[in-house]
Structure 1
Amino acid sequence: MRQPRLSSVVERRLLVNYRVDPDVAERLLPAPLRPQLVHGHAVAGICLLRLGSVRPAWTPRFLGLRSENAAHRIAVEWDGPDGVETGVYIPRRDTASRLNAWAGGRLFPGEHGRADFEVHETPGQMSVALATRDGDTRVDVTVELSDELRGSTLFADLAEASRFFRGGAKGFSATSSGRHLDGMELQTDAWHVEACRVRSAVSSFFDDPDLFPPGSATLDCALVMRDVPVSWRPLPAMASERAAQLAN
């Protein structure tokens, strides 16, 4: 069955980013993916995403749905037919939406686990916490909006960070079959991100010493995209023999 292109509004896309030892990141990736390096570091993080007006692209906006979602990501590159391509590998996706959890991997690419979210937002601050229903993953992040990107080792300024993450629009997700990766590409003509200052960040994924030995994953920066219309284009599945290594 051909999977439809989806339209939505990114009401909030909070990217909490870590710099990671490249050898550690590589162990978490299925072939043919490899870490995309920035100043010698791999880049990984958590995407805390609230989508509104989600619907097939051919349906009117008022029929769209709203949901809280999360994706753990590692920036990657791979050899495509026309040269090196870039994107992200997503070892797990989670959602508060029962519909997304059912439809992901069936009606659109990307298998989802279920999670409970707690969100508090003001014009200058946002806090997002989640706990997955399987008890495997917890996240609790609080950030403040900032006029510029400060303290990042990965990126010199907001413009450099924006270019990097815009280049990672293709996402490939682990699947329970372990034989392939589901693919989806974010597309928008209204790309815009803002800098954040992280007040606190706890992640059972990045704090897990079995995945990230002490000192191998360091919080680097956070960015947020707000109220941006986007579409999601299904990509051909990518063959992989280790895709289920960290899948839900």
Structure 2
Amino acid sequence: MKPESLAALVALATEPWGLDEQELHARLSLAGVEDPGSALRALSGAGLVRQERRRWTPTPSGHEALRHAESLLAASQDPSPSSSDMEECPSVPWLTQVQTHWVEAVSLNYAVDPERLARILPAPLVPELHRGTAWVQVLMSSLRDMRPQGVSALLGVCFYQVSYRAAVRYRNARGEWRRGGYFVRSETNDPVMRRVGNTLDEFRFHEFGEAQMVMAREGDLLTLAVDPEARFAGGRLVAVFDTRPRSEPPVGSVWTGLEDLHEPLVECYDALGVSGDFVYVLTIDRAPWNARFCTPVELYCEYFEDGPLAPGARLDSVLHLTECAYRWRPLRRERHAP
């Protein structure tokens, strides 16, 4: 369907009683359509609109064509479209389609050795390389009012969470590559959220640990601390950041600016997990990250200094993130390539 015909169909569909030809031409002219009459004739010839009592309205076929156009447009803008053989499989739909928002968060962007990362990923996931290296982000956030969608924020849960998200990809059974993030480690300071997370399918691909956590601000300085329980050793994190926003990356970063790292490290909406012949995809619909580079004043991250990705892990940059709303889609899965 041509853009001018689609514009005419949208204009008519928004008016329950239709529009006369003069009104329709006026609206389309304001919208920049150069030949409104041609658009109307094309729709009429295709049986998508009809005239009754001198007013034009969409036919049932016109409404169907408009719904089809809307679905195509939505799919073209979807950062995580479903493949033809992908199926929904939420564990508890009313509970796991949640909403929350970040009050504040930081992203520590580590460049890591691809071979070392590959050793801790479940097949068929493999590291996604950018600038010749693999990447793991430490995302520590202050989450507020997490609750099922439609439930009052007064019943939401507030807690801290730290996740180690590796940039990965896999090939599905159709031979198509799909990218996402795999959490090689996660902790929360809320024991209830930990138990819920480790019970639901949406989180069963790695074990959530439990830790004492704090995020404290004094002026522009933001202090983070994570002290895991003994059975989740290896994730101690202590840091102080100067959060005054910087538009330029630090010296030594492989990125030239925020736009440069946007697609590789920021535009990641899918959390991936593997079980049997399936890759499970949990997609987050969220507002754009309001991210700026910030400066580490002090930083110790045990996982990269003494953990499975050491030696060779290198802190590339740190992003400071402010308010951001999140909603979860139903869990999906698809078969991966053998």
Tell me if both proteins adopt one fold, taking TM over 0.5 as the criterion. Answer: yes
| Inter-CA distance 237–98: structure 2 relative to 1 (3 Å threshold) | farther
Checking the alignment, whether the CA contact within 8 Å between 2:112 and 2:314 is kept in structure 1 is yes
Q: Give 3-state SS (helix, strand or coil) of 1:17's partner.
A: strand
Shift of 1:73: 1.9
Matches for 1:1-248 after TM superposition, within 5 Å: 1-3=91-93, 4-80=96-172, 81=174, 83-107=176-200, 109-110=202-203, 111-133=207-229, 134-136=231-233, 137-145=235-243, 146-148=245-247, 149-172=249-272, 183-208=281-306, 211-214=308-311, 216-236=312-332
Structure with bigger RCO (C-alpha 8 Å, 6+ apart): 1
TM-score, length-normalised on structure 1? 0.84
| Structure 1 residues not aligned, in runs of 5+ | 241-248
Gaps of at least 5 residues in structure 2 are 1-90
Q: In structure 1, what is the Cα distance between the partners aligned to 2:286 and 2:272?
A: 18
SS of aligned partner of 1:59? coil
SS of residue in 2 equivalent to 1:151: coil
Counterpart CA distance in 1 for 2:190 and 2:264 is 29
Scaled by the length of structure 2, what TM-score is found? Answer: 0.63
The structure with the greater share of residues assigned to helix is: 2
Superimposed CA distance per residue, residues 105-164 of structure 1 (whole angstroms, 9 cap, x where no aligned partner): 334622421110132213522111101112512111222123222225332101222332
Task: State the alpha-carbon separation in 2 of the partners of residues 231 and 84 from structure 1.
Answer: 25
Aligned residues: CA RMSD: 2.5
The percent identity for this pair of structures is 21
CA contact (8 A) 2:209 2:232 kept: no
Q: Partners in 1 of 2:262 and 2:178 — Cα distance?
A: 17
Q: Deviations over 1:173-228 (max 9, x none)?
A: 58xx999776432211343212111222212211126x2343x1111111122111
AA paired with 2:295? R
Q: State the aligned residue count.
A: 236
Structure 1: distance between partners of 2:278 and 2:102: 27
Q: Structure 2: how far apart are the matches of 1:52 and 1:117?
A: 15
Is the CA contact 1:141–1:200 (under 8 Å) kept in the aligned structure 2? yes
Select the structure of larger CA radius of gyration: 2
